[in-house]
Chain A
Amino acid sequence: MTTENVFEVEHATLRFGGVVSLNDVSLVQKRGEILAVIGPNGAGKTSLFNSLTGVYQPQEGTITFHRADGRTMSVIGKKAHRVAGAGVARTFQASRMFSALSAFDNVKIGAEDHRGFGVVGAMVRGPRTRHDDRRSDEKTAELLSFVGLAERANVLAASLSYGERRRLEIARGLATQPEVLLLDEPAAGTNPAEKLDLARLIRRVRDELGVTILLIEHDMKLVMSLAERLYVLNFGSVIAEGTPAEIRANPVVIEAYLGTSAEASA
């Protein structure tokens, strides 16, 4: 089970006019794995996320998403909502909550099925709609207590602290019942205590819910303690891949982050 691949990215190239955001990127994520993508600012990490979720469409290469039920989906050319519906959830770098809604409603919107019903079905509130509604409510309450926000269910998303918003976004993503959860800098703007909580939460998402995790993060301590494998991006290309220990010792990575000694002395 764990050797099976979830994402296979092959030679993906994404351009915006003359700017190459992703240059011949290939990567593989195994099911149940906590994988991290690191790299300096502008290396193409968020572009990679957006390509994996159907927001951007790379001009070359293939991105394949393998579902647990054996079906596969070619992500390139699919709309973001179709990719999300297939089981890829994500959070955003600058968190994007529905700020005027309560924490509860934020998660509930994620929990609801947005396909397979019409205007009339939603309006009439027949037994099926009522049943669905109750199920979403239960799932929402469950997820809010899973991320530790049960007490804050009725608070406006905008009034939550930064760390709470991060956790709410994770709950909202999980509400869509994903197979993979993509976290774009989940620890940005949180304090050290919150970072520890967050790392624990991310590990629990994988261990207890069986959701595969793909992570972008700048905080090296967090990444190195959490990720089982890492890819390093620089200028849109993958420059290294390996376990945290391997990456730490890789001279190419050190160069990308700190510059070469020749540059430093020049």
Chain B
Amino acid sequence: MIRTFFQRAPIRRLLVVLGVVAVVELITGPPGSNQYPTSGFTGSYAEPASFFGMFRTQRWLVFLALALVAWGIAEFWTRYGDTIRARGSSALAGPRQVSERRPVRVGFALALLVLGILLPHIVNDAFWQSALVTYVAIYVLLAIGLNVVVGFAGLLDLGYVAFYAIGAYTTAWVTGALPTPPPFGHALDAFWAIPFAVVFVVVAGVLLGAPTLRLRGDYLAIVTLGFGEIITIFANNLYGITGGSTGTKQIPHPVFHVGPIKYAWGLAPVPYYYLALGSVVLFLVIFSLLQRSRVGRAWTAIREDEVAAESLGINPLKFKVMAFAVGAASAGFAGVITASADNFLFPSSFTLVFSINILVLVILGGMGSISGVVVGAIIIQVVQAYLNHTPPSGYQQPDLYIYVGALLITMMIFRPAGLIPSRQRRREITLYEKSHEGHPDEVLLGDDV
């Protein structure tokens, strides 16, 4: 009787959530001592002054409440979500029906764009204005680029930071901030680093992709991870070229100067925000056009079944390299904007953790779903900025990864396809789960080629 109670799906999920929360609470709490070994859970042992004071000091109560709320929402959604969603759209809408909803979606996108343009004037706060660039816009740009590689083409890339680094270092090189002389002998403006950076990252994408994309799955992940590390080590060790571990602090602000039109970026963050917003919009348009084109369909085919795709005349290597190069382009842009806005760069900012951070944004938002990835990146990055700006007592920056990790685990249990999943991805996951229910062997068998 008790066994069956604990085996019920909602109860099992509740136990998992409580377990995750307990671990998170213990890790983020103050260190215990001989006298109070469990202070990781309980926090401060000051006597609660009032009923509400108890909530402030007894951390486990707060965590328990959070867990119950999260569990309640998730259970509600698993039980009634399908009915709610069914009202909005039919799950089996074919190619024709989708286009009928297009004007609505374009209108929605335009409304969001207007909001995006007005945003820095709405948040009239110096920290948040700069956070919009350094925490949000840059990461959105990176996340939508990685989404092309991971979400559209289904390639796990753990070295995405390399393209960001190449973009940033190209900016430094073009503006003459590195020990190596700039191209054509004289320093160019940072704005002109953009075409250089895009060409460089696309070439880097092809160079890395062509030999390695023959690998599949885990093998590819390891190779890309290595590539990311190689770029950082190069930046660190090629002292005469990159400036070594101290990097450079002399990257000028960009100036746009064509004919009579001249605009110079300065220290103020808002103009950079618009530069980044413009790039985000540009890449959103490019990526969504690609997703709907035959390139996008070929990516889907390769992601779903590479052998079948090849039997239809699709060259998997060509399309994978294409995904790599196209996805890298937005990272190159992001590199240029960051380098010229910050004026400095160090090799130590381009680490593996950075790549994983971007990957987390993509997974949480919903792989393959452009809107999901944008929303996911905005939420996570705003929370991160908030926590760094106004940290709760006892919060330290590394704690963030624990929270994000817990969030990731919870998401994988309740919403494996992400926050706003792409319809296709959701189907893929449901179909996969259905086809493997009770037949764990099928993962290994069922492959006739």
Contact = CB atoms under 8 A, between A and B. Distances in A.
A101 B424 contact: yes
Contact of A80 (B92, B311, B319, B326): B311
B183 to A, nearest CB: 25
A184 B297 CA distance: 25
A112 interface: yes
A105 B311 contact: no
Nearest to A107: B312
A158 interface: yes
B312 A55 contact: no
A81 interface: yes
A150 to B, nearest CB: 12
B312 A110 contact: yes
Which size class do A's interface residues fall under?
Answer: 35 or more
Contacts of B319: 114
Given A84-B313, A123-B286, A125-B289, A98 B307 contact: no
Contacts of B305: 96-98
A109 B312 contact: yes
Contacts of B297: 105, 108-109, 112
Greatest chain A CB density within 10 A among B95, B298, B446, B447 is at: B95
Nearest to A117: B294
A113 B298 CA distance: 10
A23 interface: no
Nearest to B427: A100
A251 B307 CA distance: 38
Nearest to B294: A112
B20 interface: no
A113 B326 CA distance: 20
A247 interface: no
B109 to A, nearest CB: 17
B298 A109 contact: yes
B385 interface: no
A158 B311 contact: no
Contact of A79 (B289, B307, B308, B315): B315
Interface string B314-328: 111001001000100
B300 A96 contact: no
B428 interface: yes
B73 to A, nearest CB: 27
B292 to A, nearest CB: 9
A105 B446 CA distance: 24
A81 B290 contact: no
A125 B286 CA distance: 12
A237 interface: no
A90 B308 CA distance: 9
A46 B449 CA distance: 8
A55 B449 contact: yes
Interface string B335-368: 0000000000000000000000000000000000
Contacts of A162: none
A240 to B, nearest CB: 25
Contacts of B315: 79, 81-82, 114-115
A220 interface: no
Nearest to B97: A154
Interface in B276-312: 286, 289-290, 293-295, 297-298, 300-301, 304-305, 307-312
Nearest to B301: A109
A50 interface: yes
Contacts of A57: none
Interface in B88-106: 92-97
Contacts of A119: 290, 295, 322, 326
Nearest to B423: A100
A214 interface: no
A159 B300 CA distance: 18
Contacts of A85: 313
Contacts of B427: 99-100, 156, 158
Contact of A98 (B96, B286, B304): B304
Contacts of B304: 98-101
Contact of B314 (A81, A100, A129): A81
User: Closest 4 CB pairs between A and B?
Assistant: A154-B94, A122-B293, A100-B427, A96-B308
Given A110-B312, A129-B293, 19 more contacts: A53-B311, A81-B313, A84-B313, A90-B311, A92-B307, A92-B448, A94-B446, A99-B427, A100-B425, A102-B94, A109-B301, A112-B297, A112-B298, A114-B294, A115-B313, A119-B322, A122-B290, A123-B295, A175-B312
Interface of A: 46, 50, 53, 55, 79-82, 84-85, 89-90, 92-94, 96-102, 104-105, 108-110, 112-115, 117, 119, 122-125, 129, 132-133, 136, 153-156, 158-159, 172-173, 175-176, 184
7 contacts: A55-B307, A89-B311, A94-B448, A99-B427, A109-B312, A153-B94, A154-B96
